[in-house]
A and B are shown apart, each in its own frame.
Chain A
Amino acid sequence: MGETILELSYLISALLFVVGLKLLSHPETARRGNFYAGGGMVLAMITTLLLHKDTGGNGISLTNVWIILSAITMGSVMGWIVARRVKMTAMPQLVSLFNASGGAASALVALLEFPNADMNNLGSVLVTILGLIIGSVAFSGSMIAYGKLDGKVKDIFSGIMTYINLLLLVVVVVLSVYIMISGQTPEQLNWVIYLLLGVSLLYGIMFVMPIGGADMPVVISLLNSFTGIAAAMAGFIYNNQAMILGGILVGAAGTILTLLMCKAMNRSLLNVIIGSFGGGGTSAAN
């Protein structure tokens, strides 16, 4: 009974996300759309807290409910105050900051679920690793984007960075493949997973570093779609439809939005990502 209601509430939440996003893309209905999507989220949070059962059929105990509620209260108060107080001109970096916190949450969930992963089930290991990588890239990348928009981080560009980024990407792939095929237990692989976390965080930093400050909104939109995909990967870990749909929806909409933003700026996404236009000297000539 409880589980049916939970799944039903996830369905309603997912529909509210879709309708909310749809309404958000029209000027007259945008505010209502934001409200709907927020309502969907609150619904999913409440029903999960009350009705979720683990594989053994145990619900969330009262102690854990209090711990979760106190964390939610802290997050809500902080989020509310920051979002209300910040100056209108500082909105884009705030979005980036919030995106970073979403990415961090995804990375943490994947990191903590890794010890429970079934190493004989490569698919489940893969989604956990992907959640960790994408989440941490979104986190560190968004923090750098925030720093750039806030004037705390300067553009650094040099040709060698492209090669370093490629190298980091190769390391990420090698570590991931090693985790999947080594046949070791999660405990034995603990150091690899933390190394993977570190390299992914570094990659996020190096990925955003050469991109020029003016391109930051595009990059934030791209990192936002990363966060969505990371959330969807975590949704696979829990086989949670609301997370999968919500995450992929954001991933797809975010990617298209990124392309639309590029188009509005008369730029191609590739140019933005390579950063050849960005960062000081090289930009003016083109």
Chain B
Amino acid sequence: MEQILVYFFTYKEAIFVIALSIFLGIEVISNVPSVLHTPLMSGANAISGVIIIGGIILVGHADTTTLSLELILGFFAVIFGTLNVVGGFVVTDRMLEMFKKKKRP
């Protein structure tokens, strides 16, 4: 228990960020019209690809002299992360493109 409290204290800024971003996330999208549900979901999905930063850091400091598990799986983590980011944003753009055409007859 005490350790958890120490952890809280060490990361207090990050925990503040979390608490505030929860409200921010709720506020930012609370008035979305239902036609935008799917594109918004897809856009949010692309943002969740921030894990790519973690992948970059992981592989960035992996030992490259041997073919370790860290290097191989980390390599895949970066590929998967990029797939999420690039695919996510491109597919959202395509959805919205379609949306625009429909709106303008």
Flag if B78 contacts A49 (CB, 8 Å).
Answer: no
A75 x B71 contact (CB < 8 A)? no
A221 touches B41 (CB 8 A): yes
Q: A-B pairs with CB below 8 Å: how many?
A: 355
CB-based contact A84/B90 at 8 Å: yes
Q: Which A residues, 225 to 281, have Cβ-Cβ distances below 8 Å to chain B?
A: 225, 227-228, 230-232, 234-257, 260-261, 264
Knowing A64-B64, A75-B83 touch, does A21 contact B51 (C-beta < 8 A)? no
B50 with A44: CB separation less than 8 A: yes
Contacts of A92 in B (CB 8 A): 38
Q: How large is the interface on A (under 10, 10 to 19, 20 to 34, 35 or more residues)?
A: 35 or more
Partner of B76, one of A17, A33, A108, A253: A108
Contact with A along B47-86 (1 / 0, CB 8 A): 1111111111111111010000111011111111111111
Contact A34 B96 (CB under 8 A): yes
| Smallest Cβ-Cβ distance to A96: which chain B residue | B45
Ordered by A's residue number, 16 sampled pairs between the chains whose C-beta atoms are within 8 Å are A27-B99, A31-B96, A33-B43, A41-B49, A44-B50, A49-B56, A64-B59, A91-B95, A98-B45, A101-B84, A104-B80, A105-B55, A108-B80, A124-B7, A243-B50, A260-B32
The 8 closest A-B pairs by CB, nearest first: A123-B7, A75-B82, A252-B25, A79-B87, A79-B86, A102-B84, A60-B60, A83-B90
